Structure 1
Amino acid sequence: MDKRSLTERDICTKFILPAIKRAGWDEMLQVCEEVYFTKGRIIVRGKLVTRGKAKKADFVLYYKPNIPIALIEAKDNNHSVGQGIQQGLDYAATLDIPFVFSSNGDGFVFHDRTGQSVPVEANLGLDAFPSPTDLWARYRAWKGLDADAEQIVLQDYFDDGSGKTPRYYQVNAVNAAIEAIAKGRDRVLLVMATGTGKTYTAFQIIWRLWKAGRKKRILFLADRNVLIDQTMVNDFRPFGPAMAKLSTSAKTIERQDGSTVDLTLALDKKRRIDTAFEIYLGLYQAITGPEDRQKLYREFSSNFFDLIVIDECHRGSAVADSAWREILDHFSDATQIGLTATPKETEYVSNTEYFGEPVFTYSLKQGISDGFLAPYKVVKVHIDRDVEGYRPEIGQLDRDGNEIEDRIYNSKDFDRSIVLDDRTKLTAKKITEFLKESGDHYQKTIVFCVDEEHAARMRQALINENADLVAENPRYVMRITGGDKEGQDQLGNFIDPESKYPVLVTTSRLLSTGVDAQTCRLIVLDRAVGSMTEFKQIVGRGTRVHEDTKKFYFTLIDFRGATSHFADPEFDGDPVQIYAPNGEDPIAPPDDEPATAEGYDAIPPTPGEDETIVDQPGLPLPPGDPIRKIYVDGVGARILTERIEYLDENGKLVTESLRDFTKTALKKRFASLDDFLKRWKSAERKQAIIEELEAEGLPLDPIAEELGKDLARLIHDVPA
């Protein structure tokens, strides 16, 4: 047999796999071939949406399911035995795998990423592949696991037989948390971008510790009822009768599969606790409060819980005098795990000071790069009153007949202390224009306003701009805020992919965190966002991919300069496109935007001004009297500029057309038109070239159709 005539797959089947099996690896339980671990970055240009090539490891070896310890990168026999080692090391770093091998069927190159082997990289014969016991012993030594810790680390994941498996980064997060706790760490922080499955990750951590018998009573804390309810009936469903909610309100909840379930309650009508359960889920507002009678958590002994998991812990658990910290301090002997998309680090609040450095981080940028999160376009809109300011005429009166103080009012004042009615109407008009120009009047939209009163006015302005659609269903536009019960009752419908209404929702901060709005395609910012933490959370409302409804990206319209946060080094997930049309231009981004120089952010946000969540149910309002707003009619408002930008493959903002993007990407592969034609004509499999280009996000037929000319000639400006 001539090895050099064999394909890479033949080498895997005939030489590499037999060598692995001879070393004692179980082909059915420990060996996985062609492991795709990313989905391929979603690439957006105009109306064209494609995916880049997903990353694939040739072999991943597991000591037990979901405990990967070795990776093999294979090449055909025309390559050297170590040709795949660098690619293997890159994949292993992503997958957190310590032992890496490369093979061409003649033998192996072995690289020990732990640094414990001498030498670190060595050549091995085909019959010298290490056994599972050998590699696990090295792994144990590297991690410093004693027999007791090993028993916890080897506890099985939950598997219901449905075929659902955790994504690679969820495995990394679960294993990192379990190992830290097994080695005695009692404060653990996990940082995972919104939409990456923090709750499912928490479930697997809790399940393994619970089944291992190390954590027998567990408390899961959150600050949104919808989070608790959906967690109980979906991700935490396998806990069954061992689980209950710390609530007196009976409720029937619909599961993701459409079935319904009555929540089990741990409190009776007199708020007496049933201590027979093992897994408790609670809304922190329900078990504490400013008055002693509200501090229900004190009914539990301080050593009752072995483990406490705090969802969205950036919202207060690290503040020394917060309601969260009251609870955590009471149960200080318990192991505590904080989950957040955005750890808060300010002069007054520090997640890492309380929990320690994160044991695992999965960023928004990485999620977008892997294709698990949706990229987004940004439309920047500059209104003349925001940029130039507003100064009343001498003696000008407001709506109530009072003289307006003579000074220059700017974006920080609008809708907070002074209301320009024409500005509100213009904003609503531009939002409506975007929906019409996009061709989809029913894309789920969240409009973030300064406060509840502003959200009410914006709701009215949007109703007047969309009177025909509101006539079909009055829930087309709704306000959902902490003080609006009717609106809050519709929150479940808004986030339900199967529910058509509500469509346009105005809010101030209620929807900025913790709401799983899978089908949200448009986010509008009509207020400054001073906190980077909150800005990331707001962006996270739209980052979930929903393939059933073909939602692969979303748009963020910024009326207040809040997207200047993209320039902050702390921000890690820039948009694919930013659009800034001039006054008469359509607000929807064009499909083929010409390249221009970057514009500027006219009004930067004021740092720190949005730290307080003012309309969240259960939290007290900031001290002081309400600000009296000045209402001014008839002063006019117009659009000055708008701009659009894309996110390039390196996560940097660029203003680039589909034409330029195509040309740039193709020139990476082909130096000239002759080079392209020569390669095309000589290729035995033209499909191979097509697949190569599609890996760059360039499906030929759709691009040629959209740009309307021969693709190869387009690259090098040759007339058709």
Structure 2
Amino acid sequence: MSVNKAKLTETDIITKFIMPAIKNAGWDDMTQIRQEVKLRDGKVIVRGQLGVRKTVKSADIVLYHKPSMPLAVIEAKANKHEVGKGMQQGLDYARLLDVPFIFASNGDGFIFHDKTHGVTNSLGIAETHHLETEIRLEDFPTPQQLWTKYCIWKGYTQAQLPIINQEYHDDGTGKHPRYYQLQAINKTVEAISSGKDRVLLVMATGTGKTYTAFQIIWRLWKSRAKKRILFLADRNILVDQTRINDFQPFGTSMTKVTGRTVDPAFEIHLALYQALTGPEESQKAFKQVDPDFFDLIIIDECHRGSAADDSAWREILEYFSSAAQVGLTATPKETDEVSNSDYFGDPAYSYSLKEGIEDGFLAPYKVVRVDIDVDLQGWRPTKGQIDNNGEVIEDRIYNQKDFDRTMVIDERTQLVAETITNYLKRTDPMAKTIVFCNDIDHADRMRRAIANLNPEQMAKNEKYVMKITGDDEIGKGQLDNFINPKKAYPVIATTSELMTTGVDAKTCKLVVLDQNIQSMTKFKQIIGRGTRIDDRYGKLWFTILDFKKATELFADERFDGTPEKVIKVTPADIEDQGIDIDAANDDLDNGAAENQGDHQNDEPDTNQNDTINDPKGDASLDEKWDEGEWTDDEPRKINKYRVSGVTVSKVAERVQYYDSDGKLVTESFKDYTRKTMAKQFSSLDEFVKRWNESDRKQAVIDELALEGIIWSALEEEVGKDMDPFDMICHVVYDQPPLTRAERVNNVQKRNYFTKYSATAQAVLQNLLVKYADVGVQEIENMQVLKVAPFTEYGNLSEIVKKGFGGKQEYEQAISELEAQIYQIHQQTA
């Protein structure tokens, strides 16, 4: 019996026609064919305290040479569509997977898009064929045909193939690298197998750089292209997290370098820079082995100390210069003094925060900007005024840059702590929160202020708020508990530098900025503390509470674009330009001290917190030294005044959201709904037509919800007694709003129920009441007939059969009821 293709679903077309054609061409169903490949997670839309994921489509079929090597995308459509209908969709998936072959089909044949059409074949002859051609089902290419074309397109040599063909590590759970991770892995393996020895990968915080590094090492190590590997980081937590988590499959082949000893018995070495080198020759443990001992080095967070030419850490990389070296960073450093690209070359692959948010792999953010009057207007002491310590305060205007750096106003600290506390009480008092302060002294005072404002929480657990800084062993000891989603405490961490990077706090929902931040590198790192998503714990988005205008950096084109580039200046230049010479000198001093480690901020007057002294000396430098980042034998002293009794108040507080263009916008949910609807429906008539033609109104409601229209958020702005249909008509198309009660009243006036039996009339009248109370979903859910008051008329099947004559008649009656409810708009559409 012949099959009528026109009546088959898309799934039937795939099953009956497309899959048989692929398998007949020799593709292995188990290892080379994957169906319904989900490439994105779906962007999270946030408004108010609600977040919802947009739905994303999956690629119908992806063909692989091996699991690590996708080759082709096949996009299917039902037969009622033209054969090439799915091509544009397929091209989008192919771009993500970086594959050259795309097939579109409706079951009659294939449209074949071939990006290799201009390559030279193995005989050195340029192949000439069309970019897109139509082929029969029985002419689908074999795996070898596509692989041969692919290798020519890529320019692989025979020597590369054993390395290229090495699989990534499969943990048996069905987990595959995400599309961008696979691209980063493949491009790095390709580059190194072709002889390139310096590779830079730029991947936003939270996108799995360490997992990507593991898979790169695994493939190069297993193929024996690289036999001894060094993974370099500059913080203990980075090394330990890596060893315990992503690198665990290396097992007994792996060791952490401790005690300044490099053990040649192991092949995979994880090390802190500080364990391998130091200012004294006796501390240079890396020289225990020959320069060719390592043939692959992975440098984590390479934007930090190792990028500088005069860094002592650079000597490790230069000693092992014959090794292939891969730099990993979320924030590549580009200044006149420090450049990742000068050393590693241009990135082999980049995946930005914006891309991560759009794909749904990273959490979007909303920003709450709080302006404080003394920050905006400045504060000046009275003549001869003394501070709390009895010191005469230098007479000048102190502004936002000064507060908690050279001038402490206790009431300002209190106001910030109150704002944080009130926000958490209003939203979720147990939401993991990081408060970034200017220095350790500031972090200490902020911890105390928040603790005093939360006596009931502190009574439950004194670790509710903790200072986690480099000088505090108890606080540092709680860092693992803070980042562990299973541990409730600590809830709030006050810090200055320690938690700016390398802290994988997946459930951090609030990032508070009360620190002067002008360095783009540092800003990106701090924002990265909140960008991880954890669906299991309901972490889909996060809030940035900004007291220091730091989020103005979001508007800087460098935020998600090219790395910063600054002009190198001398103290004389700075003086001529009227720039704060003290702050500039602090930066220059720290730059000279960088041979011990991290110096994230090379710009003049950008990091106001590097040289602030608490009573014990320079707090921030103390912290950095504890972390093995840098030191200075004689840190410069800066006077810090502390005053009380100043009247401080909030001038303004505004909420901004991350929009589809990656910009921060101050918009209501009504504005967002208008923009979203404009993309879906060009006019009111088109929307009304779609609504009225839909068998189930709930289907339209669900579709719009999946586009990010959060009905509960819209109800808060517009009104809770309004139907979704009326909310859209009113908000988007400026129609007069009707409440559900008004619609019910209009239906009852028409008295159209008389054509039904007494039972059916009673059921329909009660359904109208349900509609007025809850909405259209109650009418469309047949299960509502199982509860009171409907049970008075019998069970579900009795009501449907006796009252209406059967299921089909009942469904027809519901359609007519909905038509009556929305009749006014049917007439005007």
The normalised TM-score by structure 1 is 0.89
Which residue number in structure 2 is paired with residue 387 of structure 1? 376
Query: Within the alignment, does 1:492 sit opposite 2:480 as a pair?
Result: yes
Q: Tell me by how many angstroms 1:665 deviates.
A: 2.3
Which residue number in structure 2 is paired with residue 713 of structure 1? 726
What do residues 660-691 of structure 1 show as CA deviations (whole Å, max 9, x unaligned)?
A: 32344234334555543432232346565345
The normalised TM-score by structure 2 is 0.78
Compared CA separation, residues 486 and 533, structure 1 to 2 (3 A): same
Structure 2: runs of 5 or more not aligned:
119-127, 562-602, 611-619, 731-735, 739-829
Give the alignment partner of residue 377 of structure 1, picking from 344, 353, 366: 366
Secondary structure of the structure 2 residue equivalent to 1:323: coil
What do residues 545-592 of structure 1 show as CA deviations (whole Å, max 9, x unaligned)?
A: 11121111111111111101111112239xxxxxxxxxxxxxxxxxxx
Give the alignment partner of residue 235 of structure 1, picking from 237, 241, 246: 246
Q: How does 1:31-430 map to 2 (within 5 A)?
A: 31-116=33-118, 118-248=129-259, 271-430=260-419
Q: Tell me by how many angstroms 1:412 deviates.
A: 1.2
Compared CA separation, residues 660 and 31, structure 1 to 2 (3 A): same
Q: Tell me by how many angstroms 1:292 deviates.
A: 2.0
What do residues 30-51 of structure 1 show as CA deviations (whole Å, max 9, x unaligned)?
A: 1111111111101111133211
Whether the 8 Å contact between 2:227 and 2:295 is mirrored in structure 1 is: yes
Which residue number in structure 2 is paired with residue 619 of structure 1? 629
Secondary structure of the structure 2 residue equivalent to 1:555: strand
Deviates further, 125-134 or 512-521: 125-134
What do residues 438-487 of structure 1 show as CA deviations (whole Å, max 9, x unaligned)?
A: 1x211111111111121112112222222332233221111111121111
Give the share of equivalent positions with the same residue, in percent. Answer: 56
What do residues 515-538 of structure 1 show as CA deviations (whole Å, max 9, x unaligned)?
A: 100111111111111111111111
Whether the 8 Å contact between 1:399 and 1:632 is mirrored in structure 2 is: yes
Work out the CA distance in 1 between the residues paired with 2:604 and 2:432. Answer: 29
Deviates further, 623-632 or 12-21: 623-632
Work out the CA distance in 1 between the residues paired with 2:695 and 2:133. Answer: 37
Deviates further, 200-209 or 453-462: 453-462
Compared CA separation, residues 296 and 610, structure 1 to 2 (3 A): farther
Work out the CA distance in 2 between the residues paired with 1:34 and 1:685. Answer: 26
Which residue number in structure 2 is paired with residue 7 of structure 1? 9
Whether the 8 Å contact between 1:672 and 1:716 is mirrored in structure 2 is: no
Secondary structure of the structure 1 residue equivalent to 2:79: coil
Work out the CA distance in 1 between the residues paired with 2:553 and 2:78. Answer: 47
Count residues with an aligned counterpart: 666
Aligned-partner residue type, residue 346 of structure 1: T
Secondary structure of the structure 1 residue equivalent to 2:307: coil
Which residue number in structure 2 is paired with residue 568 of structure 1? 556
Compared CA separation, residues 316 and 113, structure 1 to 2 (3 A): farther
Q: Tell me by how many angstroms 1:27 deviates.
A: 1.5
Which residue number in structure 1 is paired with residue 435 of structure 2? 447
Work out the CA distance in 1 between the residues paired with 2:374 and 2:631. Answer: 30
Q: Tell me by how many angstroms 1:195 deviates.
A: 0.8
What do residues 99-132 of structure 1 show as CA deviations (whole Å, max 9, x unaligned)?
A: 1111111111111224526222222122222111
What do residues 226-277 of structure 1 show as CA deviations (whole Å, max 9, x unaligned)?
A: 22112112211111111111114xxxxxxxxxxxxxxxxxxxxxx4442100
Deviates further, 157-166 or 62-71: 157-166
Aligned-partner residue type, residue 713 of structure 1: D
Compared CA separation, residues 473 and 662, structure 1 to 2 (3 A): same
Q: Tell me by how many angstroms 1:394 deviates.
A: 1.3
Secondary structure of the structure 1 residue equivalent to 2:318: helix
Work out the CA distance in 2 between the residues paired with 1:311 and 1:13. Answer: 46
Whether the 8 Å contact between 1:531 and 1:607 is mirrored in structure 2 is: no
Aligned-partner residue type, residue 406 of structure 2: S
Query: Within the alignment, does 1:694 sit opposite 2:705 as a pair?
Result: yes
Aligned-partner residue type, residue 485 of structure 1: E
What do residues 397-424 of structure 1 show as CA deviations (whole Å, max 9, x unaligned)?
A: 1222222111111111111112112211
Q: Tell me by how many angstroms 1:702 deviates.
A: 7.7
Whether the 8 Å contact between 1:531 and 1:610 is mirrored in structure 2 is: no
Secondary structure of the structure 1 residue equivalent to 2:83: coil
Work out the CA distance in 2 between the residues paired with 1:74 and 1:36. Answer: 15
Give the alignment partner of residue 24 of structure 1, picking from 23, 26, 33: 26
Aligned-partner residue type, residue 136 of structure 2: G
Whether the 8 Å contact between 1:246 and 1:286 is mirrored in structure 2 is: yes
Work out the CA distance in 1 between the residues paired with 2:687 and 2:716. Answer: 19
Whether the 8 Å contact between 2:53 and 2:708 is mirrored in structure 1 is: yes
Work out the CA distance in 2 between the residues paired with 1:500 and 1:692. Answer: 36
Aligned-partner residue type, residue 412 of structure 1: K
Which residue number in structure 1 is paired with residue 767 of structure 2? none
Work out the CA distance in 1 between the residues paired with 2:18 and 2:536. Answer: 39
Work out the CA distance in 2 between the residues paired with 1:379 and 1:703. Answer: 20
Compared CA separation, residues 238 and 429, structure 1 to 2 (3 A): same
Compared CA separation, residues 663 and 445, structure 1 to 2 (3 A): same
Aligned-partner residue type, residue 79 of structure 1: H
Which residue number in structure 2 is paired with residue 260 of structure 1? none
Compared CA separation, residues 384 and 195, structure 1 to 2 (3 A): same
Whether the 8 Å contact between 2:451 and 2:458 is mirrored in structure 1 is: yes
Aligned-partner residue type, residue 61 of structure 2: F
Deviates further, 616-625 or 545-554: 616-625
Q: Tell me by how many angstroms 1:611 deviates.
A: 9.9
Aligned-partner residue type, residue 498 of structure 2: L
Deviates further, 24-33 or 648-657: 648-657
Compared CA separation, residues 607 and 134, structure 1 to 2 (3 A): farther
CA RMSD of aligned residues (A): 2.0
Deviates further, 131-140 or 707-716: 707-716
Deviates further, 706-715 or 8-17: 706-715
Aligned-partner residue type, residue 442 of structure 1: M
Greater Rg by CA: 2
Whether the 8 Å contact between 1:447 and 1:506 is mirrored in structure 2 is: yes
Q: How does 1:506-521 map to 2 (within 5 A)?
A: 506-521=494-509
Q: Tell me by how many angstroms 1:428 deviates.
A: 1.1
Whether the 8 Å contact between 1:663 and 1:714 is mirrored in structure 2 is: no
Work out the CA distance in 1 between the residues paired with 2:382 and 2:230. Answer: 60
Whether the 8 Å contact between 1:32 and 1:59 is mirrored in structure 2 is: yes
Aligned-partner residue type, residue 296 of structure 1: A
Whether the 8 Å contact between 1:158 and 1:204 is mirrored in structure 2 is: yes
Whether the 8 Å contact between 1:62 and 1:70 is mirrored in structure 2 is: yes
Whether the 8 Å contact between 2:554 and 2:663 is mirrored in structure 1 is: no
Deviates further, 72-81 or 328-337: 72-81
Q: Tell me by how many angstroms 1:134 deviates.
A: 1.1
Work out the CA distance in 2 between the residues paired with 1:699 and 1:561. Answer: 29
Whether the 8 Å contact between 2:433 and 2:510 is mirrored in structure 1 is: yes
Deviates further, 664-673 or 541-550: 664-673
Compared CA separation, residues 529 and 700, structure 1 to 2 (3 A): closer
Q: Which is bigger in relative contact order (C-alpha 8 A, separation at least 6)?
A: 1
Work out the CA distance in 1 between the residues paired with 2:8 and 2:388. Answer: 83
Q: Which has a greater percent of helix?
A: 2
Which residue number in structure 2 is paired with residue 254 of structure 1? none
Whether the 8 Å contact between 1:531 and 1:611 is mirrored in structure 2 is: no
Secondary structure of the structure 2 residue equivalent to 1:381: strand
Whether the 8 Å contact between 2:367 and 2:655 is mirrored in structure 1 is: yes
Secondary structure of the structure 2 residue equivalent to 1:208: helix
Moved runs in structure 1, 4+ residues, more than 6 A?
610-613
